[in-house]
Amino acid sequence: MASTEDLTKQFASVGFEEPKVKEIIKNKKVSESLYDLIKEAPADSQWEKSTRAQLQNLASLIKGEQLPNSKLIVDAITKKELKTTLQVEEAFKYIKEHGEHSNKKGMDEHAGVGVEVSDEQVRESVVKYIEDNKERIVTERYKLIPGIMADVKKRPELKWADPRSFKPIIDAEVFKVLGPKDERDTVKKKEKKSKKPAANKKETVTSPQRSMFSEGFLGDLHKVEDNPQNSPELLEEHLKAVHGKVRTRFPPEPNGYLHIGHSKAIMVNFGYAKYNGGNCYLRFDDTNPEAEAPEYFESIKRMVSWLGFEPWKVTYSSDYFDRLYALAERLIENGKGYVCHCSAEEIKAGRGIKPDGTPGGERTPCKHRQRAVDENLLEFRKMRDGEYQPGEAILRMKQDLTSPSPQMWDLIAYRVLNAAHPRTGDKWKIYPTYDFTHCLVDSFENITHSLCTTEFYLSRESYEWLCDQVQVFRPTQREYGRLNITGTVLSKRKIAKLVEQSYVRGWDDPRLYTLEAIRRRGIPPGAILSFINTLGVTTSVTNIQLVRFESAIRKYLEDTTPRLMFVLDPVQVIVDNLPDSYEELVSIPFRPGTPEFGERKVPFTNRLFIDRSDFSEKVGDKEFFRLTPEQPVGLIKVPHALIYSRAEKDSEGKITTIHVTYDTEGRIKKPKTYIQWVPVSAKYNSPVNIAETRVHNALFKSENPSAHPKGYLEDINPDSEIIYTKSVVEHNFHTVVENSPWEVDAVKKSEFYVKEDPKSKEVCRFQAMRTGYFALDKDSDENKIVLNRIVTLKDGSK
């Protein structure tokens, strides 16, 4: 029976956080089962949050009992073959029933392993359900959504579907039937009677605002002085250099554009240093001249600044090439480095990679591993002097081939490259690898907290090993979970193909999730920082659906953006009973309920535009509340209703003009609804015509484009960009542009306020009533206005 200490150590080793460990250990049977299951897991298991959760789920089913062949389930969980709680439960039932006679094939069949239910299949089943229950759905409307969700989950064809895909699909399909929510879907809360304060009650003290830097992973990090060293004098020198202050770094490779995941890394490193009164470097890891380009350096600097952070210093790994080379020779002199002439295939075989590409074979030392120090120095200098071509010689670290960690299997420290470096020119024929460079430059720069994502967890051992072998200060590396967005691709290679094959406009196309694209789309940097803060920082990978990300952006924009009347697909309306000279100024708030935003004047005239969707020739439709031949409609803030008279159509039967009368006599006491409108007024230069309104939807159709059997390019959404060329907006659009970014005091007081460049076009943002949030695109000029939709007004809207 394992002790509490053993249990704690075992659970922590696979990534369970301290509170979770304490919770598990409270249940003796479950913790003992989980302990045994972890020991059964393959050594190379990737312990992501979902893996840990499903293994804990299995332990709670076993509850300390004996389960023959439990390793079948453990292997399937760690290989992500059993992905859901239901699959684990079914696999458990099968193994328990068949005991020693159970086998993987039977378990897989019983648990639905390999059964893929696509989003399209889910959608087909949902559509069928909605068709079968349409009358009830139309009657009960949106309050029926939870019931629909429960019923859909029970459908046999969806037994093995990912339940996370249900809600967005159900929401989208129900929206097609019901349209946007209206007053019928609003539940008015009863006002609570205010209670009188208790006599002599002490004032409550407001607790400090929660922050990702003060709790969780970052809140538990070590203090500056707690960087253990083999030599105490190294710590003393380090503390003198940093003056007791936190020092971090953001170290991107300048071989591509940053994406949304990097925003978390930027905020973690710069934000943690700032929160603790320290400093953060922007360090370019420029050790591969074959992949680097000037535009990447500039873009990275631009994006760090855009997110509101200023580097303490901008440095480059290439600044330290001479010092790195000197330490490489020291490594050789200490008997821990050797020059290897093996081929890539021979190196893989020596590391136990089998001919079929799978790991687990016998590891064998390189035949050059026992070379004498003097010979290695000579060979290394020949590499430096250009006597070897790429692939003919490498410098490797002599580590520990018996270690279970691949990061200790004699990693490559230097390789030969026939490439000039952007900063050092032709000086070097050899370049250090990431594994050699990263930890040593951290040491040179006296980094107190080397923060990186969990895929570098295994690198911690080699990181510390190398610093100790060359006798330099050893920074402390700690790993947090990276941020991923589902429903898109973030791989540089995959985005490059989208750009090269013209699926998108470029690396900054608003449908992508590079930071350049996010900025161009009009998303404020403060919204990104606020979003990341709500997620917090843990050791688990954070996978966020697009709808959740957009919901956070929408909430931020709702509080910080002025509103305008904007008609996406306009149709002209003529008020027949008003003269051409008629003008009635109405006052409309830029943001209702927020006086600080101010108000604007809009002229009501005898000609205006409404959205084509706000008129229907169909009569008697009880679900349609806007203008029809039998139904008047109100205009926002205009005193009287409009009553339909007639419509003009073109040769194809499309309505070009709607004639109405203005109910000046007040016969219509209260129309069913009020719609937005954009006036025609020469005096006010209204409307403002929009050359292109680019409405962006998801670039891909599924949550995991890369899983498409024919490749991610086959998952492209054909309606990812819809362009309108006749949209119009009220003349106050110019006021918004002139005063952008819209920085009222309430915005400036926000914890994550970032001062933006007023010269940038994307800072010109507004909320278009009923349509979404929009921003100026960089393609705009004095003669042509181009808008990008940032997000819709509601989740699931198109």
Helix (H, G, I), strand (E, B) or coil at 2: coil
Distance CA 623, CA 616 (A): 11
Amino acid at 379: E
Sorted by sequence, the CB contacts under 8 Å of residue 513 that are 6+ apart come out as 259, 260, 485, 488, 490
How are the residues of the chain apportioned to helix, strand and coil, as percentages rounded to the nearest 5? 40, 15, 45
CA 23, distance to chain mean position in Å, is 30
Task: Count helices and strands (H / E) in the chain.
Answer: 26, 29
Across 70-108, b (16+ Cβ under 10 Å) vs e yields bebbbbbbbeebbbbebbbebbbebbbeeeeebeeebbb
For CA atoms 168, 170, 175, 180, give the dihedral sign. Answer: negative
Sorted by sequence, the CB contacts under 8 Å of residue 457 that are 6+ apart come out as 479
What are the angstrom distances between the C-alpha of 352 and each of 42, 364, 370?
A: 15, 7, 19
Q: Which of 340, 266, 368 is nearest to 310 (CA)?
A: 266
Given strand 655-662, what is the order of strands in its sheet?
642-649, 655-662, 570-575, 607-611, 678-679
C-alpha atoms less than 13 angstroms from C-alpha of 317 in its C-beta half-sphere? 28
Distance CA 13, CA 16 (A): 7
Indicate which residues carry an active-site annotation. 253, 482, 492
Distance CA 331, CA 696 (A): 54
Distance CA 260, CA 255 (A): 16
Amino acid at 688: V
Cβ atoms of 53 and 37 within 8 Å: the answer is no
> What's the length of the chain?
798
- The single residue listed with the structure tokens 């604007």 is 600
Cβ atoms of 588 and 637 within 8 Å: the answer is yes
End-to-end C-alpha distance for the chain, whole angstroms: 57
Cβ atoms of 333 and 542 within 8 Å: the answer is no
Residue 67 tokens read as: 């389960």
